[in-house]
Amino acid sequence: MTTVRYCVNGKLVNGIAPTNRGFAYGDGVFRTMRLLNGELQDWPLHYQTLVADCSKIQIVCPSAELLMQEFKYFMASASEAEVQFSILKIIITRGEGARGYAPPAVSEPTRVLILSPLPAYPAEIYAQGIALYTCQTRLAHQPLLAGIKHLNRLENVLARAELKDPRFFDGLLRDYDDHVIEAVSGNLFIRKDGLVMTPVLESCGVAGVMRQKILDWYKTQRQTVLVTTLTMQDLLSAEAIVIVNSVYGVLQVSHIDEQAVSTNHWAKELRSQLHYVTH
Ligand SMILES: C=C(O[C@@H]1C=C(C(=O)O)C=C[C@H]1N)C(=O)O
């Protein structure tokens, strides 16, 4: 059984300083990706989003070369099983600082690499789809942080804590205007009236790499994806709904709460078109 292991600033250490701003204030960003047969899946796109997210909160993202150098060092002590099938989470914080919100004029970003076992998803989630629970926790509007995978994920934590019934794979997140935004763990697409749509993430939500891959793929097919506001009624009247992230790929939604929703083979088609290999 592989355990969770981590590397901080290129060293196999047992933790980070309590004065680290990522710990103290959530002052940082992260991305989570699969490691399959020693290859980080979609690394260039994950790095591109790390750079973009860092830039939006005025952190200078470490170079890809440094992160890959530290990743290779980290993996040198990995087991064969870890190299074959793992989840790598990369956290970039603003670094260490004195007490108080003021960002230090100069700071060295902290680079944290965390290796975890791949989740053992049941085959049924790919064969039969998944059920979503409509969370009571709502996403607040903050355009300055919308789309960024920053470390202030308490809304996701509180929403995920609502999922007590094992029938539900994940939760559905709305904002206070009753717009459907995303799943707790990923983004959402629907097909409705022959159109592909995904929630606009200008006020809240996280813009995931798998979401970007799907947007990019449809662009190569010269098919427009409507990035728009979606309501629960849009979902309940959709021809199909999928949730997507870099770990489980693309999953068809079969139920929202107790209600069965229209399903087809869209998720399977997208996994094939994106060459997503279930693990
Ligand atoms: C919360 C993390 O990552 C997010 C959650 C999942 C998941 O629950 O499957 C996968 C990728 C991210 N959207 C994390 O701590 O890695």
Residue ranges and CATH numbers for the domains of the chain are: 5-117 (3.30.470.10), 123-273 (3.20.10.10)
Q: Is 249 in the pocket of ligand 1 (CB under 6 A)?
A: no
- Compute the distance from residue 184 Cα to the ligand 1 centre, in Å: 9
Q: Which is the closest atom of ligand 1 to the Cα of 248? A: 9
Token pair in block for residue 109: 């970003």
* pLDDT at site 13: 83
- Compute the distance from residue 33 Cα to the ligand 1 centre, in Å: 9
CB-count exposure of residue 223 (10 Å: 0-12, 13-18, 19+):
exposed
pTM above 0.90, yes or no: yes
Token pair in block for residue 50: 């790390």
Q: What is the ipTM of this complex?
A: 0.93
Q: Which is the closest atom of ligand 1 to the Cα of 206? A: 13
* pLDDT at site 133: 98
Contacts of 21 (CB under 8 A, 6+ apart): 27, 28, 93, 94, 95, 96, 97, 103, 107
Can you tell me the distance from the alpha carbon of 273 to that of 269, in angstroms, rounded to the nearest whole number? 6
Can you tell me the distance from the alpha carbon of 264 to that of 254, in angstroms, rounded to the nearest whole number? 9
66 φ, ψ (degrees, to nearest 5): -65, -45
Q: Which long-range contacts (CB under 8 A, 24 or more apart) does 121-124 make?
A: 121/248, 121/278
* pLDDT at site 1: 45
Handedness of CA 17, 68, 41, 117 (dihedral sign): negative
- Compute the distance from residue 35 Cα to the ligand 1 centre, in Å: 14
* pLDDT at site 266: 98
- Compute the distance from residue 216 Cα to the ligand 1 centre, in Å: 21
Task: Assess contact for 31 and 44: CB atoms under 8 A.
Answer: no
Q: Is 32 in the pocket of ligand 1 (CB under 6 A)?
A: yes
- Compute the distance from residue 217 Cα to the ligand 1 centre, in Å: 22
Task: Assess contact for 89 and 118: CB atoms under 8 A.
Answer: no
Can you tell me the distance from the alpha carbon of 131 to that of 119, in angstroms, rounded to the nearest whole number? 18
Q: Is 205 in the pocket of ligand 1 (CB under 6 A)?
A: no
Contacts of 257 (CB under 8 A, 6+ apart): 131, 132, 133, 134
- Low-confidence spans in the chain with pLDDT less than 50: 1
